[in-house]
Chain A
Amino acid sequence: MSAPVTCLDVRRIIGAEPQRRDEAIAAHLKDCPGCAAFVREMQALDARLEAAFKVPVPEGLEARIALDGSLKNHNRAWRPWLATAASVVMATALATFAWHHDHPVDGALADAVVRHIRNPEEIVAIGPDRALLHDASYIEGVMHDAGAGMQGGAAGLGRVTYAQTCLFKGERVAHLVVQGDNGPVTVMLLRHIHVDRAVPVDEDGFHGIIVPAGEGSIAIVTNNNTPVQPMEQELTSKVEWTL
């Protein structure tokens, strides 16, 4: 017969292995409703984790790998070819990007910002029931990763409900959502995109502005009636680029 275990033992063991059921643990759970509830909580957490870990697999990947005889029979011959092709594509893309970096096409930029916000993977960021982010250091970390900072810290942003570093036009940007007077307002800190003048945004029910901010720019966009002008003044005076 195994030795009895304490509540702390159970929680430490189940915290590492929620599915584990030793004789001693099973006996403890029969008599301890608190630990039994904890086990249920951990199993529920693991079910959420399993679902979250299961990102979609690219369509046809298994079949491509399983059936691609050329991959196996020609060793890595495809790779130098692919690398060469990729280099050409990359060089073209970089040249195009460099040109656009200095000469952004206003309409295209506004369109890209709205498309990013409306992306199915991002649209939940402006959902109505998002909780406030209270961890200022997390928000500041996101801004830092995107090469941005804010005088006075993240508190100056107001009520932030979303903060994530995203890839936008090949560079990291800070994608923030702030709760405005009439609903969520998206703020994107675009360190790598310079605009000579304010660019209006008015597409697909979203409106706002992309304003110059030093060598970069800031997009402030919403799909409700929150006025963006006060935020524009606040942000352009306080956002600074750190990279």
Chain B
Amino acid sequence: MGTHQHRFDMLARAQTPGLYRYAYWLCRDRALAEDLVQETLLRAWRSLDSLREEAAARRWLITILRNEFMRELSKRRDTVAIDDMPLVDHTANVGGSDTDMFDVRRALWKLTPEYREPLALQVLMGCTTQEIADMLELTQGTVLTRLHRARNQLREHLGLAGVAMGEGAA
């Protein structure tokens, strides 16, 4: 097996689960999420030589996938009403048969994308706030604020006891 092929296979196996989940939380559609992952890895295959460090692979792939999603979103905006995006899929509760998982996923979908995406990048993909800021082209301060507000809203949606979160504090 060639080095290029071997390197790609290792990368695909290691990163596919995380990429698929991230894609799903972007688009809320299992079929589209799978397609986005395939497209992302196809692009990665073509330009694998530009990846110098394996440690940077996750961030590199996330950026490609996010660009693919934006491209898809843009295409759909040309053909369907913006109100129809993101796609709505009853699989909002996919894979969760216990009530807590169900409620947490529902609460996550109640967040706006600007709050849900950095949270997914942090909690699901293990990105630092600086990495998130770079990927989303935001300042690190904005990312911190969004993460803080996202958790604040989730606590409200989940009916968690009210320990002050410091919102609006100087």
Contact = CB atoms under 8 A, between A and B. Distances in A.
Prevailing SS type, chain A contact patch: helix
B125 to A, nearest CB: 9
B94 A56 contact: yes
A45 interface: yes
B101 A167 contact: no
Given A76-B42, A124-B99, A66 B13 contact: yes
A130 B99 CA distance: 8
A16 B147 contact: yes
Contacts of B93: 121-122, 124, 164
Contacts of A131: 159
B160 A50 contact: no
A57 B8 contact: no
Q: Which of under 10, 10 to 19, 20 to 34, or 35 or more describes the interface residues of B?
A: 35 or more
A15 interface: yes
A61 B155 CA distance: 34
B57 interface: no
Interface in A102-161: 116, 119-124, 127, 129-131, 138, 145
B157 to A, nearest CB: 9
Interface of A: 7-13, 15-18, 34, 37-38, 41-42, 45-46, 48-58, 61-63, 65-67, 71-72, 75-76, 116, 119-124, 127, 129-131, 138, 145, 164-168, 172, 175
Interface of B: 8-9, 12-13, 16-17, 20-21, 24-25, 30, 34, 37-38, 41-42, 45, 88-102, 104-106, 108, 110, 119-120, 122-124, 129, 143-145, 147-148, 151-152, 154-155, 158-161, 163-167, 169-170
